[in-house]
Amino acid sequence: MIGRASLLLVSFAALSACDQPTVPDSGAGVGFGSYTAYQAQREQELIAGGEGSSVSVLPPRASTDSSTDQLIADAAAAIPNTAVPATVENSVGISAENDFDAVAGERSIEEDAARVAANRSQYQVVEPTALPSRPSGSTTSLVTFALSTQNNVGQPIYKRLIPGAAARQARNCAKYPSPDLAQEDFLKSGGPERNAKGLDADGDGFACSWDPAPFRLAASARNN
């Protein structure tokens, strides 16, 4: 009975040993037989090479086919060369504000101050003056007169039988600062029927170059 139990125990142990997976040796390294052997070989190569020698610390890459090598070469050629040169030279030179020699040749602070003072001494202060007053008291305002007329500038309505009327108008109109003032004086002096001061040579009722069109346009826009 004991012998049969012992036989069963031995059989069970054998089956357990067969089912247990094999654990790989982590000390064997990757790509070579033994990492310990590789490390010892590397130390010997470093000692033999001396200071400053370059020794590869990794095993050589496995060879690839020619097509893979060609793809790697094409990819490397397609990468632009962005390396910065060892020395960068500026052909145009540095700006004057960064060049001490250029700044030293310019004017000093005292010279600049003297030039500013000289410019200020030449300034001329212009005092504002009052605007000229418009004449008042005319019997007919420009707006009222403009809206009461319908003829255009240069279209005669009143008779002007005075020789040399155009030359006289040019001389007399030059005495007025603006056409509005000339027209006001013209109406005050008996215009448009009379041309006492010779301001309306063509007889259209408008002195000098005065034009009633802006007044008519403003009244028309307001009514609309």
pLDDT in tens, 92-136: 555 655 666 665 666 678 888 888 888 888 888 888 887 666 555
Do the Cβ atoms of 185 and 135 come closer than 8 Å?
yes
Report the alpha-carbon distance of residue 224 to residue 182 in Å, rounded.
Answer: 31
pLDDT at 105: 64
Residue scoring higher pLDDT (139 or 45): 45
For the entire predicted model, the pTM comes to 0.38
Nearest CA-CA partner of 187 in 133, 131, 149: 149
- pLDDT tops 60 at residue 78: yes
What's the pLDDT at 171? 92
Confidence of residue 36 (pLDDT cuts 50, 70, 90): confident
pLDDT of residue 52: 47
Confidence of residue 138 (pLDDT cuts 50, 70, 90): very low
> Within 13 A of 219's CA, how many CA atoms are on the CB side?
13
Positive or negative, the Cα torsion across 103, 105, 106, 110?
positive
